């Protein structure tokens, strides 16, 4: 049923739960599993050097999270490929899903306040609304 599974990870407790669910599903369906982390580009910046330094620091942070996810999956007998992309979280996840022909996206429900979630929505809401495939939101 699911040949390609993508799990969105950011190091939060919600994404750790999503990773555990995705690894279990990948093992069950014998699916290819990829984790994606999104290095969000800052909207307001001072100088170009600051942007480069911040981007590099963010990407390094997410690479480490991805390496830990690869190790976690490996200990459970699942091969996982880790990818870091740039952009707005929901948009980048949807674009990656479309470009890779993903059949299932697993994402954690993020802990925004009720007010923020009401006015802005959440990454998981936007991904589930715009993804062309099945989306599992893990609580």
| pTM across the whole model | 0.86
Q: What is the CATH number of domain 4-138?
A: 3.40.50.620
Question: What are the domain boundaries of the chain?
Answer: 4-138
Tokens for 23? Answer: 């690894």
Cβ burial, residue 8 (10 Å; 0-12/13-18/19+)? buried
Give the mean pLDDT of 91-114.
Answer: 87
Nearest CA among 119, 120, 115, 68 for reference residue 89 = 120
Give the mean pLDDT of 64-68.
Answer: 97
Give the mean pLDDT of 72-98.
Answer: 96
Give the mean pLDDT of 96-123.
Answer: 76
CA distance 110 to 131: 17
Q: Which residue has the tokens 């200990």?
A: 75
In the structure, what pLDDT confidence band is assigned to residue 104 with cuts at 50, 70 and 90? very high
Among 41-45, 98-102, 104-108, which stretch is predicted with the lowest mean pLDDT? 41-45
Give the mean pLDDT of 121-126.
Answer: 84
Among 66-75, 107-116, 120-129, which stretch is predicted with the lowest mean pLDDT? 107-116
Q: Collect all residues with Cβ–Cβ distance below 8 Å to 114 and sequence separation of at least 6.
A: none
């Amino acid at each position: 049923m699911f040949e390609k599974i993508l799990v969105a990870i950011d190091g939060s407790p919600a994404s750790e739960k999503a990773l555990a669910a995705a690894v279990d599903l990948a093992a069950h369906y014998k699916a290819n599993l990829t984790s994606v982390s999104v290095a969000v580009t800052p909207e307001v910046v001072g100088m170009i050097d600051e942007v480069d330094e911040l981007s590099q620091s963010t990407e390094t942070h997410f690479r480490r999270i991805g390496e830990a996810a690869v190790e976690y999956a490996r200990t459970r007998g699942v091969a996982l490929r880790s990818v870091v992309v740039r952009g707005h979280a929901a948009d980048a996840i949807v674009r990656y899903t479309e470009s890779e022909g993903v059949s299932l996206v697993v994402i954690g429900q993020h802990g925004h306040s009720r007010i923020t979630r009401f006015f802005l929505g959440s990454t998981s809401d936007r991904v589930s609304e715009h993804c062309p495939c099945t989306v599992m939101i893990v609580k």
